[in-house]
Amino acid sequence: MTPDVLTEQAGLREEPLFERIIEDLSVQRYSIVENFFNPDEVALLRSTLLARYEEDQFRKSAIGDHFNELIRSGIRGDFIHWIQESETGPAERLFLSRIQELITYLNRTCFMGIAEREFHYAVYPKGTFYVRHLDTFRNDDRRKLSVVCYLNDEHWNSENGGELTLYLPKDEREEVLDILPMPGRMVIFESQVLEHEVKPVKLGERLSITGWLKTR
Ligand SMILES: O=C(O)CCC(=O)C(=O)O
Ligand SMILES: [Fe+2]
């Protein structure tokens, strides 16, 4: 039986976008998707992030407990707001339901066993960054996939900085891939495999939603 027949039997329509993500992940450990959310949806997510930021719902990101501020800001300088499943508005519901479609698809077609999701908004003010790291640094080996969705305005460019840099193991060497945080762009990568960093923001504020798909 071909895979097509199998997915049809499982009552699952083939989703070309999700199929491409799966293919990318299996070949290169990351996937870059340009239109996971359409421009209207990006605008809604962006304005909701900004409203919550204005309401001062954001905190400086923690790294570990009792971390001294100088050390913290030398590692990461973003402000975050965790999306609570219980108090979501239209933007968060839209975001999470689309993410859930992806999770359901991954579980049905690749048996990934994703059982949990966690997401936060992030704002990186000018001058901030996040040094090279692996997303499992807190020994949370339930994190399987990291997902970042950018909500900057369409004029963001290399003068703004804030690239996501992925370090890709290639045989004995390492390849470096810089990705500009363009609006609507989503990057998905294997949390336990790919080290990455956020380059310093040189101009403006860098806006995103970041999260993890986790096993139980
Ligand atoms: O915003 C990004 O591009 C990546 C953020 C990140 O690496 C993290 O929050 O762990
Ligand atoms: Fe990260």
Q: What is the mean pLDDT of residues 80-90?
A: 90
pLDDT surpasses 80 at 5: no
Q: Compute, in angstroms, the gap from residue 76 CA to the centroid of ligand 1.
A: 9
- Give the pTM: 0.91
Burial of residue 164 (number of CB atoms within 10 Å: 0-12, 13-18, 19+): buried
pLDDT tens track for 104-157: 999 999 989 999 999 999 999 999 999 999 998 666 789 999 999 999 999 999
Nearest CA to ligand 1 atom 9: 210
Residue 124 CA: nearest ligand 1 atom is 1
| Mutate which of 132, 198, 212 for ligand 1 pocket (most atoms within 8 A of beta carbon) | 198
Q: Which of 206, 186, 210 is nearest to 35 (CA)?
A: 186
The ligand with the least distance to the CA atom of 208 is: 1
Residue 162 CA: nearest ligand 1 atom is 3
pLDDT tens track for 150-199: 999 999 999 999 999 999 999 889 999 999 999 999 999 999 999 999 99
| Mutate which of 196, 197, 201, 207 for ligand 1 pocket (most atoms within 8 A of beta carbon) | 196
SS3 state of residue 151: coil
Q: Compute, in angstroms, the gap from residue 113 CA to the centroid of ligand 1.
A: 23
Domain 3-214 class in CATH: mainly beta
Residues with CB under 5 A from ligand 2 (ion): 135
| Distance from C-alpha of 49 to C-alpha of 26, rounded to nearest angstrom | 32
CA 159 from centroid of its chain's CA atoms: 22
Query: What is the DSSP annotation of 134-173?
Result: -TTTTS-TTEEEEEEEE---TT--TTTB--EEEEEEETTE
Beta-carbon contacts of residue 132 (< 8 Å; ≥ 6 apart): 165, 167, 195, 196, 197
SS3 state of residue 96: helix
Structure ipTM over 0.90, yes or no: yes
Q: Quick one: the chain helix, strand, coil %, rounded to 5?
A: 30, 30, 40
Q: Which of 58, 37, 32 is nearest to 151 (CA)?
A: 37
Considering the chain, what is the average pLDDT of its residues?
A: 91
